[in-house]
């Protein structure tokens, strides 16, 4: 029974440390934990297959830009013949406070272009999403910082350790999903607990925060 974990991000050194590449971070952590090598694949991705928590898993990092992520995900899903309930997409989320994660099945794209592209190319919303909270700019900076600029920026020194903890917690959640199932993982990881940082501010849903 094959599973696929996709981490969303933008390819290239320029974006490697950006908030928008948190999905890539999580895949890198899982690959390191389980000795899975990521190599170029014909479906516009870096990917590798291995065993995570006794389950056969494909780890995937689309090498399209974010808003074309579905072009990399859909071919692998089609070729592998997996059920969409065995597909998890890991991505950053502005509307979730910094340090919090949330896992669920289905739902909309929340304005995230990478998720939107995956939905469009699969013609379905029925896959697992793991959202990683990156929060929003501090209130004083909101008028000067566009969402697109914020997600493409790097974590500041005060946030970096928290960001690493967030990525490792997300990797733990993916291991739990594979070994314990979705409901148990939701109960364990969807608690309202965030990491302290200087960017914390009351969160408001923006509806749409389109980005590249």
Catalytic residue IDs: 20
83/85 Cα distance (integer angstroms): 5
The secondary structure of the chain in percent helix, strand, coil, rounded to multiples of 5, reads: 40, 20, 40
Say how many C-beta atoms besides its own lie within 10 A of residue 185's C-beta: 22
154/73 Cα distance (integer angstroms): 26
CA-based nearest residue to 19, from 205, 151, 192: 151
Q: Which two tokens stand for residue 75?
A: 């071919």
76/163 Cα distance (integer angstroms): 29
The phi and psi torsions of 109 (rounded to 5 degrees) equal -90, -10
């Amino acid at each position: 029974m094959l599973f696929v974990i996709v981490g969303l991000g933008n390819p290239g050194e320029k974006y490697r440390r950006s908030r928008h590449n948190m999905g890539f971070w999580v895949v890198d952590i899982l690959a390191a934990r389980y000795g899975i090598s990521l190599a170029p694949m014909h479906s516009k991705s870096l990917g590798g297959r291995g065993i995570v928590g006794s389950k056969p898993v494909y780890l995937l990092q689309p090498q399209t830009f974010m808003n074309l992520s579905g072009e990399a995900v859909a071919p692998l899903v089609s070729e592998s013949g997996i059920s969409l309930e065995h597909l998890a997409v890991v991505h950053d989320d502005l509307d979730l406070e910094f340090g919090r994660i949330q896992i669920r099945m289905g739902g909309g794209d929340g304005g995230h272009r990478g998720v939107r592209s995956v939905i469009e190319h699969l013609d379905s919303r029925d896959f697992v999403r793991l959202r990683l909270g990156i929060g929003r700019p501090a209130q004083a900076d909101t008028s000067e910082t566009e969402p697109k600029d914020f997600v493409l920026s790097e974590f500041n020194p005060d946030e970096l350790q928290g960001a690493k903890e967030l990525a490792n917690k997300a990797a733990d959640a993916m291991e739990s999903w594979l070994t314990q199932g979705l409901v148990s993982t939701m109960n364990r990881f969807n608690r309202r607990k965030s990491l302290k940082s200087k960017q914390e501010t009351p969160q408001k849903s923006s509806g749409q925060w389109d980005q590249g």
